[in-house]
Amino acid sequence: MQRWDIFCRVVDNFGDAGVAWRLSRQLSAEQGIQVRLLIDDCATLARLDHRIDPQKSEQVVAGVTLCVCGYAPHDPLKQGQLLQQPAAVVIETFGCGLPEEYLLAMAAQQRASLWINLEHLSAEEWVEGCHGLPSPQTRLNLTRYFFFPGFTERTGGLLREGVRPPPGSDPGGGLTPCSTPSSLRVTLFGYEGAPLQEMIHTWANSPIPIYCEVSEGTPLAAAAAVQLECAANASLSVVGNLHMKWVPFCDQVDFDAPLRAANVNFVRGEDSFVRAQWAARPFVWHIYPQAEDAHLIKLNAFLDRYTAGWNTGLSKRYRQLAMAWNGEGDIGVAWTALQNDWTSLQEHAETWSKSLLKQSDLASNLAKFAANLL
């Protein structure tokens, strides 16, 4: 059986680890590939899957060989034979780099490994022209290929399991979304820096009840507890029309159910961002902040694609909400402006999800790409 090595450095916390872990499991389960995931932060990964032991340097979980691998020079995690046997296909996630020992071992082989850099997901038009391009690495006589996830057939596609409930068919473990507009059920997952205080004030003064669930142990969960002046062990706070509930942080495979059960999902990074789209529910994306506001270019590119064909007023209001949640505008004003639009946003979410389902998924596209080059 062919072996693939996937390297991951955890920078965006659950985002990087989540994508690498989901991809690893899917390649193993659906493509019949022997996968070894080499990651520098097993503790973060263990929060996404309770089967993972963060104390073990090597273990097999869900058919994937999971290895802890450090990147710093002379890191003890790099000792032994871990990096001495390169795989036939090497996936470098998000430009994380490969350990020098591993690169040297790749270059020393009679037949070089296929080296693919899995880039960050982007809706920008230029990624179609760069997807699949080779980049010669002359120092070691190796070639590195760029593979871009994306939203069109000319990109690498999106992570999606081969067997999945159709959009809207299973509202999350038997849970039923609150009827709109009599009340709204919301999930909350984002980075530090989100305008949470303003949003809490807006929800508390909402004309309809807002039932918000936030995962324990996340930045927004802690911030919400401070804003609502909750006791350390509180699990529910009711202020005005806001019902804020702190729920246990769940495994990655269990995350889809609450997304499908909600009316609106606030998500972040890449993994939960994509899952929100498969949930076929309205969502607000908190994109990972970058220097010089480069992330806002990516956000606007996605909004352009997502809202294409909408009427001008709805498109403008939804964009204002997305931008305000990312620090560009008044979140309270933006949220209130959409109070009569939730039915339309739900219809658009379902249409968008169904359109993406017509495209091939990321893991399948990666397997085909590798097969054509090996």
For the annotated catalytic residues, the residue numbers are 16, 270
Tokens standing for residue 132: 């699949």
CA 99/CA 85 separation, integer angstroms: 13
Q: Are the CB atoms for 10 and 42 separated by under 8 Å?
A: no
Residue 145 near residue 365 (C-beta atoms within 8 A): no
Per-position b or e across 29-64, b if 16+ CB within 10 A of its CB: bebebbbbbbbbbbebbbbbbeebeeeeeebebbeb
Instruction: For strands 264-268 and 236-239, give the pairing.
Output: unpaired
Q: How far apart are CA 294 and CA 198, in angstroms?
A: 24
Q: Which segments of 32-78 does DSSP mark as H helices, in order? A: 42-48
Check if the beta carbon of residue 255 is closer than 8 Å to that of residue 276.
no
* Cα 53 to Cα 117: distance, rounded to the nearest angstrom: 27
Surface-to-core class of residue 340, CB atoms within 10 Å of its CB (0-12 exposed, 13-18 middle, 19+ buried):
exposed
Q: DSSP letters of 299-317? A: HHHHHHHHTTTS-HHHHHH
Give the DSSP letter of residue 41.
-
Residue 121's nearest CA partner among 160, 162, 157 is: 157
Q: In terms of DSSP H, where are the helices of the chain? A: 14-31, 42-48, 100-107, 127-130, 196-204, 219-227, 256-261, 271-278, 294-306, 312-325, 331-337, 342-357, 362-373
